[in-house]
Structure 1
């Protein structure tokens, strides 16, 4: 099996989910006592997690580049950045190392294209929902997107940074997301993309009237494919 590197801690709650998903899939594929050969660099989320200014993002890029280089030197053959928002500095990280960094939006876009999905609602934190770095990746796969809902984006920011990244799961937030997804299902879309690695903690992926594409599980599957050489 090939060795995969994870840039985690962004947050630790979603990194734990990546670890679980990847190992469960490797076990299903190989059986017995097999588990995934992983190298995890778990960063301090407080240092870069709330990046907003350009100076913040320059610092975040430096932190992720350093992490990626250490993973490469440790023998990783590819890397996952275990956070949607940090893909804002993807190009800088990929440009600093020789091994591939698997882009989360590309994995989601390819999956939806294969399923014939062409119009979706993008759901995530404010920078993911409103900035170009994620939206343009999906568009490049033939996906069209609803305009960003700024009120929803702000509420998700509060849910993610005040609750989910510190391991808090509230019934109020679960009900809010279920209500929002029910409303989005009434729009002219075929599916919703959960473009926040923590949102799976409060969204039941199988109990919604609208198909849900969860970036965390799709991204993790792409890492499994790398490990298994598929």
Structure 2
């Protein structure tokens, strides 16, 4: 079994889900008392969030690079960044270590394509929905057509993530707002929806959408187990 290196704490709410899904999946596949061999560096998210919203991406990159190097020294065999937004610096993190980085968008796109979908709606932080680092990878590398909510809806999706979900708050009116955003994307032609923030799965599930939801948290965690157990 390979050792999984997890860059977590962004937020710890979703990192706890990574840890749970990874270990449950290992137990399901290997049986008995088996669990994953993994290391996690868990950030103080308040510091990371402040850098994000101040646009200090170079400083945020330095934080991730330093943590990735700690995991490498600790014996990890490959790395995961346990958040969609911080894949903005995935290339820099990969260049800083000799370990492979399992990019969250790649297994997500592969599952979407395997299910026969090509046009998807994307929910996430404003950074993920608006910047090219994530949408561009889905479009250019995987050939998907990516739709995002309109300006007002993007603002509300982003607000709910930072004011509620990363703080462990699940609010019914926010679930209703997300349902409306999903319905609007479906009306524009989305065949499926990417839950492109690792906390969104805390708020919405299959019952909230007329089309399939692709939960990046679960997909990324299960892909990590695939890699950890490969020959």
Shift of 1:17: 0.5
> Matched residues in 2 for 1:4 and 1:23: separation?
11
Shift of 1:78: 0.6
Listed as ranges, the matches of 1:1-230 within 5 Å are 1-50=1-50, 51-54=52-55, 56-139=56-139, 140-229=141-230
1:97-151 Cα deviation digits (max 9, x unpaired): 0001111111211111222211111111101001000001101201011255222
| Count of residues in correspondence between the two structures | 229
Shift of 1:85: 0.5
> Matched residues in 2 for 1:187 and 1:165: separation?
29
Contact 2:41 2:67 in 1 (8 A): yes
CA RMSD of aligned residues (A): 1.3
> Matched residues in 2 for 1:43 and 1:117: separation?
35
Contact 1:182 1:210 in 2 (8 A): no
Secondary structure of 1:87's counterpart equals helix
TM-score by length of 1: 0.95
Gapped runs of 5+ residues in structure 1? none
4+ residue runs over 6 A deviation = none
TM-score by length of 2: 0.95
Secondary structure of 1:35's counterpart equals coil
> Matched residues in 2 for 1:86 and 1:95: separation?
15
- More moved, 213-222 vs 107-116: 107-116
Q: 1:34 to 1:208 in 2, by over 3 A?
A: same
1:143-185 Cα deviation digits (max 9, x unpaired): 0112552222211221111111111111111121122222322
Gapped runs of 5+ residues in structure 2? none
